[in-house]
Amino acid sequence: MNEIRWSKTEKKKAKEAFEKAYERECAELARKIRAKVKELSGPDDIWRLHDFLTERRRELDEKYDYRYSALIFVFARLIKEGWLSLEELDGVGEDKTSKIAALLDFAAETMEESDDKLPKDRFTDPILGRLTPLEYDEGWQVEIEKEGETIRFEIAGDSHPSEALLAHTRDLLKGYSKFKATVHEFLDREKRKFPSRLAQEIDSLGIEAVCLGWSDRPDHGTIYFAGRESPRVWHCDCIGGKPQDLGFDR
């Protein structure tokens, strides 16, 4: 590996991919921290959180080693862990990507020889980022920050998310402002069908999750909403990309 040479352009591409993976892992860490902060109830919890952060900082410093002599191994590890995809390294040089691919193949073969399968615990999309398996159902999920909001997308799939649903999710994000406006216009219309005492609650609703469960009908799904102090779980169907039939579960 020592004889590998990096051109100026390749170094720039490598730096971009390196920083993208780092941002994704830090975003996932931030999500875990927020969850842990909500559970704080005393001094012991605070010190456990401190220990957790100290250990994670040590792991990140060790993993993200930006030395050109180590980058091939670093990128292979990041891809294996799901923080990056090989496609995102396009531009760093075929000699580098071929070595990275060889390392990944070797790792996969080693796992197979030991009768152990690679865990279904991550998948990285170049646009959506890192997806993780749903805990209680078949499928995958990813949280996206958009226009100051966090939206969860749940996408059907077995060993990996459905490509048709991934493509539809990317399209939704690309036109999210228009999609969001359509949904809120729908909510404004639908609230007239409910008792007036629920109008304020419906006005407070925002998109919490978009669930896509049919690969053969990627523009069909369910939208879930969250609102201030709402005791109900509000949801609606999304048929042909259009919201309809607002309802709730208690």
Tell me the pLDDT tens digit for each residue of 22-37: 999 898 888 888 877 8
Domain end call among 68, 93, 113: 113
Pair 93, 169 in one domain:
no
Asked if residue 26 is part of any domain, the answer here is: yes
Pair 139, 28 in one domain:
no
Q: What percent of the chain has pLDDT over 70?
A: 91
Residue 118: pLDDT band with limits 50, 70, 90: very low
Integer angstrom CA distances of residue 207 from 129, 150, 180: 20, 9, 8
| Angstrom distance (rounded) from CA 187 to CA 235 | 10
Pair 139, 243 in one domain:
yes
Residue 117: pLDDT band with limits 50, 70, 90: very low
Residue 65: pLDDT band with limits 50, 70, 90: confident
Contacts of residue 73, Cβ cutoff 8 Å, sequence gap at least 6: 1, 103
Q: What is the pLDDT of residue 113?
A: 45
Asked if residue 50 is part of any domain, the answer here is: yes
Q: What is the pLDDT of residue 55?
A: 87
Per-residue pLDDT of 153-177, as tens digits, reads 999 988 889 999 999 999 999 999 9
Pair 145, 232 in one domain:
yes
Q: Which tokens hold the place of 104? A: 């990944």
Asked if residue 131 is part of any domain, the answer here is: yes
Asked if residue 118 is part of any domain, the answer here is: no
Domain end call among 68, 86, 113: 113
Residue 136: pLDDT band with limits 50, 70, 90: low
Domain end call among 113, 142, 175: 113
Asked if residue 31 is part of any domain, the answer here is: yes
Q: Which domain holds residue 237?
A: 123-249
Pair 158, 215 in one domain:
yes
Pair 168, 107 in one domain:
no
The sign of the torsion formed by the CA atoms of 174, 19, 82, 143 equals negative
Pair 234, 132 in one domain:
yes
Pair 66, 134 in one domain:
no
Q: What is the pLDDT of residue 229?
A: 66
Pair 128, 57 in one domain:
no
Per-residue pLDDT of 217-245, as tens digits, reads 999 999 999 887 667 889 999 999 899 99
Instruction: Give the helix/strand (H/E) hosting 133.
Output: strand 129-133
Q: What's the domain count of the chain?
A: 2
Question: Percentage helix, strand, coil, to 5, in the chain?
Answer: 50, 20, 30
Pair 127, 240 in one domain:
yes
Q: What is the pLDDT of residue 108?
A: 64
Please state, rounded to an integer, the average pLDDT across all residues of the chain.
86
Pair 49, 93 in one domain:
yes
44 compared with 173, residue with greater pLDDT? 173
Pair 127, 245 in one domain:
yes
